[in-house]
Amino acid sequence: MEFTELTLENFEEAAEVVKRVTQETKLVYSKYFSEQTGNKVYLKPENMQVTGAYKIRGAYYRISKLAKEDQEKGLITASAGNHAQGVAYAAKELGVKAVVVMPTTTPLMKVNRTKSYGAEVVLHGNVYDEACEHAYKLAEENGYTFIHPFDDLGVATGQGTIAMEIVKELPLVDYILVPVGGGGLATGVSTLAKMLNPNIKVIGVEPAGANCLQKSLKNGEVTTLPSINTIADGTAVKTPGSKIFPYLQKNLDDVITVTDDELIVAFLDMVENHKMIVENSGLLTVAALKHLDVKNKKIVSVLSGGNMDVITMSSVVQFGLIQRDRIFTVSVLLPDSPGELTKVSAVIAKMQGNVIKLEHNQFISTNRSKAVELKITMEAFGTEHKNQIVKALEEAGYKPRLIRANP
């Protein structure tokens, strides 16, 4: 079946079809984010899907609608990870051969998961666009059907089932925030939301370093970014979909961009306040909450996925603690004589600072007896506590100099 337009009939069909493979992701009310923003904030935890992301919806619905002969030839796709796993899982459930081309920079966990669902994985290119070009080439050579991760109306229909579930559970929703990479999720959600209730505002959220849709909407045509730079690898796309672009122009109310630093803090917030692991791309809608200039509205943030490897997770937590002043480093100069380190430690201990690293540099001055440098990295409860510790060191005569902590 070829999809030539997005229809309510197809959305309704897709909502039933995807139930065969999706987990029920009921809305989670966030007391923390509600208090932070002055709104009623709900989270749509698509990170809890069997493949760790919403992509299973569009992949399964699209593949299920393929003609039998096309299914028998096999299919191919390109993805930075979540669509790959969605296609692999859907193909396995439907008994179809799947080949997935992934950028060489894709986290190992996503590669291994895709393989575990029975797909053949080909690593090619540094970014999605390069992997996609190679996948088209292989499709032509082998007669595979290409399942596009976002620029496909059938895939967008499957993704839009999220809006159906949100509106059924929260009929008076005012805002739905959706992450944007190529725009498939935003297309499905915004189009169906407007069909169900034209008053619902749907906001797309992009990484500031990969804002291809924002640029395209501003230019009034699909625009390719010269380069992209973001830790949100799942939304690191240079060019939005051309087939879906008219729907985005019509149904998306706005596009917000957030920085990588904001995503890092959002990760920490989700872990500490909701005990949930959400990948950087999935955190876009959480980081965007404070950019909405509204109060007393019902807002749903779609958490699109939770596939993050442990090494990335560790790095994000460390940087988040630094940004929140929960870890900081000061440099102090002190005489190179016995007992000086004990004196500094006593000041920090009295203020309940917890030292986690010391660096002692004897060569800061040619006169060692006059001054050596001590770099102290420590834990604090936050900015206020950090300032209290620094003030105590100043009052003790150490002239502390704040420097950026290294995670």
CA 107 to chain centre: 13
> 8-53+158-320: which CATH architecture?
3-Layer(aba) Sandwich (3.40)
| b/e burial code for range 327-348 (CB count within 10 A of at least 16 → b) | bbbbbbbbeeeeeeeeebeebb
Q: Where are the beta strands (DSSP E) in 282-371?
A: 298-303, 327-334, 354-361
Give the model's pLDDT for residue 251: 98
Give the model's pLDDT for residue 261: 92
Give the model's pLDDT for residue 11: 97
Q: 3-state DSSP call for residue 159?
A: helix
Neighbours of 403 (CB within 10 A): 12
Give the model's pLDDT for residue 389: 93
- CATH 3.30.230.10 fits domain 55-153: no
55 part of the active site:
yes
Q: Taking the domains of the chain in order of start, what are their residue ranges?
A: 8-53+158-320, 55-153, 325-403
Q: Is 234 exposed, middle or buried (0-12, 13-18, 19+ CB in 10 A)?
A: buried
Q: Is 115 exposed, middle or buried (0-12, 13-18, 19+ CB in 10 A)?
A: middle
Q: Is 212 exposed, middle or buried (0-12, 13-18, 19+ CB in 10 A)?
A: buried
Length of the chain: 407
Question: Is there a common fold for 8-53+158-320 and 55-153?
Answer: yes
CATH top-level class for 325-403?
A: alpha beta
Helix (H) or strand (E) holding 347: helix 340-350
65 part of the active site:
no
Task: Name the catalytic one among 30, 64, 216, 304.
Answer: 304
Give the model's pLDDT for residue 368: 54
Q: What is the pLDDT along the chain (407 residues), one digit of tens a residue?
A: 778 899 999 999 999 999 999 999 999 999 999 999 999 999 999 999 999 999 999 999 999 999 999 999 999 999 877 889 999 999 999 999 999 999 898 878 778 889 999 999 999 998 777 888 999 999 999 999 999 999 999 999 999 999 999 999 999 999 999 999 999 999 999 999 999 999 999 999 999 999 999 999 999 999 999 999 999 988 988 999 999 999 999 999 999 999 999 999 999 999 999 999 999 999 999 999 999 999 999 999 999 999 887 778 788 888 888 888 889 999 988 887 788 888 888 999 999 999 988 887 766 655 555 678 889 999 999 899 999 999 999 998 888 999 876 55
Q: Which residue has the tokens 């480093």?
A: 329
pTM score of the predicted model: 0.86
Task: Name the catalytic one among 30, 40, 44, 55.
Answer: 55
